[in-house]
Each structure stands twice: as structure tokens, then as C-alpha cells.
Structure 1
Amino acid sequence: MADRTFLSWPFFEPRHRELADALQNWCAEMPAEAADLDEGCRSLVEWLARGGFLKLCVADGERRPDVRSLAIARETLAYHSGLADFAFAMQGLGSGAISLFGTIEQKREWLPKVASGRAVAAFAMTEPTCGSDAANIATSALRDGNEWVLVGEKTYISNGGIADFYVTFARTGEGEGSRGLSAFIVPAEAVQVAERIDVIAPHPLARLTYDNVRIPADAIIGEPGEGFRISMETLNLFRVTVGAAGLGFARRALDEALGWAKVRRLGSGTLADNAVTQAKLADMAMLNDASALLIYRAAWQQDVGGTDNRRAAAMAKLHATEAGSQVVDMAVQMHGGAGVTRGVKVEELYRDIRALRIYEGASEVQRQIIARDLLKEALP
């Protein structure tokens, strides 16, 4: 059982502790891993919807998603299953632009479907020649009467191939670089899945092509030219939760290491009797606590409002994913040969956690955000 003493911290309200209990109990009934990846992911979306947990991912009226709740959910799910965390997170990220900037009609059409699991969501920004540098998006959207016509290509799109709609970012030309982007809701049937992409921690991922895709004029989210701001605010909303997922993986790695150390024989005792092992376990626990403090401070700031939390969110994401990778690596090392053997949990965690330092703003980008914010506040 993962350490849950953090729930007594002053960042939380009783409803957060109730959520943690409910989700922990719900995870005991998690469906068995399906042989087919797409089927397994859709099954997990439906399972999360039955428990009512996907409601956390979408706006409730004018109320934005509660970041503390999202972080608790992702930490808990990641502890149990990387794919379950992925299924939950993408329902939020994929529909986040609609929650934050959608019209009343767009929210009414899509958000209930996302919350009930009737629609799988996706966030389509990355392109073959454009990753972290979103301002250089090349996919175009041209107005043609009462329609928009999209032409271009997206890649490494999570839920690619199983999504029911893609929130797609394209260039509409109101200005250069980031000033000329807009966001659109594109139904899946209008998009071609050009290639499925296989990665080290399997989840639905694809390269998509938009071949003169026509969508109604009212499929735009916000105003033309607001796409970059919409994308950045959506990513910022969920950035802290990426750190929470990393913490969930790291907490599981620590528990696996503790269990292994107690039973693995070493000389006349066990690994747990060894001073080097004890030092590693102490380091792992300290890294996890530091991550938790950064994550839930940033989440609290985001929910309470009144302050720009971009630096805190970047710190939380950066530290938790980097430190989590260290914790998982130490658990693998402690397991020896078993740690790199398929079917052993720490080997799975090693693959699960690696991508977190890349997506939704790579570690290098988070360092830039932190440094620029510090420099802005520094005295001349």
C-alpha cells in the first residue's frame, strides 16, 4: 500500500480524502489487462466512467477541473496501472480546451460524452517537425464559407486510432508564429490514421493525416488566433498531474523495493539488513516526499487561484518526473537481474515512467519556464 499520509496535509479538503479512499477501493476491481491494446484502453475508460471518476476531467458549469482531485486520481491510478492512468489523463487533456474555452454548445455536446466514457478524447498538437516548439505548427486551416478546411499531419498523438474526436491545432494565419494558431474539434471519422506507433510503454499512439478535412465553422474553439494560448493553458492545467503520475510510479517502485529487500537473501541476512540498501531506500522515500510537496503545493495554488502558478507547476512536473525516474531506476538496480525481466513490476515501471520527462513539456522546457520566471522577477 502506497504512503497516504500526505492526505493529512493542509492542501486538501475532506472531499479529496474521500476521493482517494473511493478510488483506492475502486482500483481493487480494475479489469484484467486485455490482450488487445485498443480494447484494453477503451475498457479502462468505461471502467473509470462507471466509477464516476471521469467527471473529474471535465468542467462542471463554469467551474474548471479541480487539479488536486486530478493529481490524486493520477497518482493512485499510476500506482496500480500505467494504462489506467493514461486512459484517465487523456480524457482530461483531450477535452481540456473545450472545458476551458469551449462555447456552451460545445461543452453540452462533448463534455457529458467524455465524462460518461461514450467519447474518447485526444489532443492533437505534435507534428513530424514540431514538438515542444508549438509556434511552428504547419497544419493549416482555411475558412471556406461556413466551413474550415484542414490540411496537414500530426504525430505521436495519444489515443490516435481509438479517439472519437481530436482537438486539433492548426495555422489560421492571423499573425506569425504563435499568433496565427487556432483550435478545432475534429471528429475522428474525418481524420486518416496513417500509422500506428509502438512505444516502450504500450498505449494507443498514431500519426494522423488531415487531407482537406472539412468541419463546420462553429467547430473552432475560442476565436481565430487564440490557439496557442488555448494550448498552453490546457497544458498548464494538466502539467502538475503529469508529476502526480510520476509520483504514483515512484511510490509503487519504493513499495516493490521494500518488499524485495525484506525477502531477498544476502549472505546470512537479507538485502534489508544491508546499509547500502537502507541508504537507497531512504533516498527513495525522500525523493518521493519532495515530489509530493511540490505537486500538491502547485495543485493547491492552481485551485485556490490568485497567483500565477506556472513556475510552481513546472517545478512539480520537472522534479517529480526526474526524481521518479531515479526512484524507479534504484528499484530496478536493487532487483538485479529480476529488475530487467519482463513480467516483473519494476521493469514495467521503468518503461512507464520514461515518457513523462518528454511529453506535455520536456524537462528542458520546464527548466526554461522556471529560469525565465526567476529572471523576470530578479532585480536589474
Structure 2
Amino acid sequence: MQPQRPRPRARLGPPCLGCQHPSARKRNPMFTLSQGSFYFHFHNLLHANGRHTTFLCCRVEREHEGLMDRRVFKNQVGSDHAELCCLYWFRDQEFFPGEDYQLTWYMSWSPCPHCAEEVACFLAAHRNVSLTIFIARLYYYWVPEYQRGLRRLCQEGAQVEVMSFQEFADCYEEFVEEPFRPWKGLYSNYRMQESKLRKILGSTVSLLKEETFLFQFNNRHRVPRHCGPHRPRRKTYLCYLLARPGDTTAPTKGCLQNKKGHHAEILFIKRIRSMGLDPSQDYQITCYLTWSPCLDCAFKLAKLQKDFPRLTLRIFVSRLYFHWIRKFQKGLQQLWLSGALVAIMGLQEFTDCWNNFVNHQQSSFAPWDKLDAYSKNIRARLGRILRSWGCRPIPPSGEDSR
């Protein structure tokens, strides 16, 4: 792999909304990427010679409006890397302080340590901005400083993933605007890059912001007024713990959310299968979800349980998704019949999720008003659903009926 040449880097300065860098106006982002540039620079080769340029394709989404903008950046010769160019440009845009923003980056190279630190500081200062980074290739993945940079991003809430076929296709169709044609070795190279990234990140998990957890995992029927009376909870968050019984090492953690065309449960299944778990070994996975799975996700989770007969899969959900529709009820029934435990989050599960997956600055979980009452009502509803399909009722939180 040919490294990018070292060059002077400008700092982002005070991280406040609307601040600008003196040279930010000189960076003119593109709207699309040429076909040749994409196939050359985003090729996920393990040894990518001659690729000195980093391309970053950015999609900006706003909570109530969906897609807000999309641009393509590349590192500036003798100046800033693509990540900083994107952040300077983003700060120039019109902000709506009460809104949440989702940035999705498709990058040809993973960030260097300096850019990782700058992006992490930006996320720490702008609590209403969430970032997902899909990378085609890992940049200097064997150097400890670069590994620490990736872990630092995750610690500030960024979700860092390797681009699979679906991400390559999404990026190509959105920024090149043509049907994607995969190259030979795409999947095997993805598996290698994914394995290296998982080793780098280890037990590091993209932590949720406190306000995100308190809003998205809240089990009230109506959204609290202080969160915005017209702010729907459309996102699904899935936090998981993977451990082996009797193993004293720290469990593997992960936190996922639904993306364009991908439910969080499908991303979770894909990640678990990519780990190469031995079906003959014992594993325990505990999942915490904001919404119960849809029909398709429930069937695929059930298949995962059946493919790993010695897996103990526990799924705790905060709220039931379209629980009055029979096909969604059938999904819960099939998931239960597969051997997975499906239950409703109570105070203990909310506390465990808070302690493991929230950047809470050492503060303890403070339950909202009537949390136990809401959990009890939702648990009773789930019990009625399962009984109507001939399944045993769900036990109270923390108890296993099997």
C-alpha cells in the first residue's frame, strides 16, 4: 500500500456551530464522482498501490426532512485531508439547532490519527450530529497510532464499518448515478478488511449519546414534550453483547442502527456471521432493541438461532413494532419458537444498556417517570400476542421460563 504524502494540516479551531476556516471557501466539493475514479480509488484491494488520494462521499440527512445534501470531497494537495474539508463545508451550511443530523461517509481510505482526533472532537462538541463511516480500505492498520484513532472515533459515537457489496452499490448509485458492477474478489477482500477492523476495535463500541438513548429507548407511548411534540422515533437501535459461558475475557459489544435499505437486525446478523463462530460451541448474545423486529427480520433472527443450536439468544425490546398487525405478531411467534428469548426491557435491562452502551460521563441511569408501569403494560401485551399464537407467556423481566 502506498501511503499518502505527509502535508501541513489545519486545525478546525473552536468547535462551534457556524464557525469557518479561512480557506474553507476555496474547497469546492463535487456533486458526483466519475466512474473511473470510483473503480480505481474505491477498489478494496489489500495492497492498493498508487492510490495517494482519499475520496470521501458524504450524505447529510436531517431528522424531519430526510436527505439534505450530498457532496464528494478529496484531500487537498499541500492542505487538508478530505475529512476536514467535509467538516469545514458542513459548518458553512444552514443549521437548524433543534434538529438532529446524520452524516454518512463513504471513504476510500480510513482516517489518519490527526483527522480521527479532529472528527472525534467535532462529534463531542456537536451533540446533535451522528456519523457513520464506511471505509473501502484500512490506512496503516498495523500502526498503533492509527488503530487508536479508529478506536477514538468509536468512543465518541461514530460508527465505523468496512464497505461490503451493499455499501459499494449504494455509494456508486448515489454518487456516480449508474448501476454498480462488482469486481472480482470484492467479497473476499471485504472479509479480510472486516476481520482486521474487528481486531483493531476489539471490545470498543460506538457509544450512544445520553440524549439519544433517553429519546430512542424511551418506552412511553407518546414522546415526551421536552423532546419535541412532533419528533417521531423512526430509528431502530440494536445494542448487543456476545460472550462465551465461562470465558473471563470482556464480551464483544456492538451498537447498530438502521441505515438506508438496511434494518439494524440485518446489520447485526451480518456482523455475527462474519465473526466465523463455531456452531458446536456455546455462545450467549444479549440484544437490546428500541423496536421489536419486523416480520422479515424476525424470520432471519430465527434462522440465525437455528443455525447455531448452542447459541443462547436473548432479545429485549423497549417497544412493540406494529403489534396489532398479525404478520408482525407472526414474526414474534416464529422468533420465540426458534428458541430465542423475546422479552420486554425493564429497569434492569435499561440500566444494563445504559452502563454498557451510553457515553454517560460516569453518571448513573435515572429512570423516567412511570418506566416500570410502561414496561409492565407492554410486557402484558406481548404475552397476549404470544398466547394468541399458542406460545407460552413472556416471564417478568430477569426471569427465564425455560
TM, length-normalised to structure 1 = 0.23
Structure with bigger helix share is: 1
TM, length-normalised to structure 2 = 0.22
Query: Structure with the greater relative contact order (CA < 8 A, sep ≥ 6): 1 or 2?
Result: 1
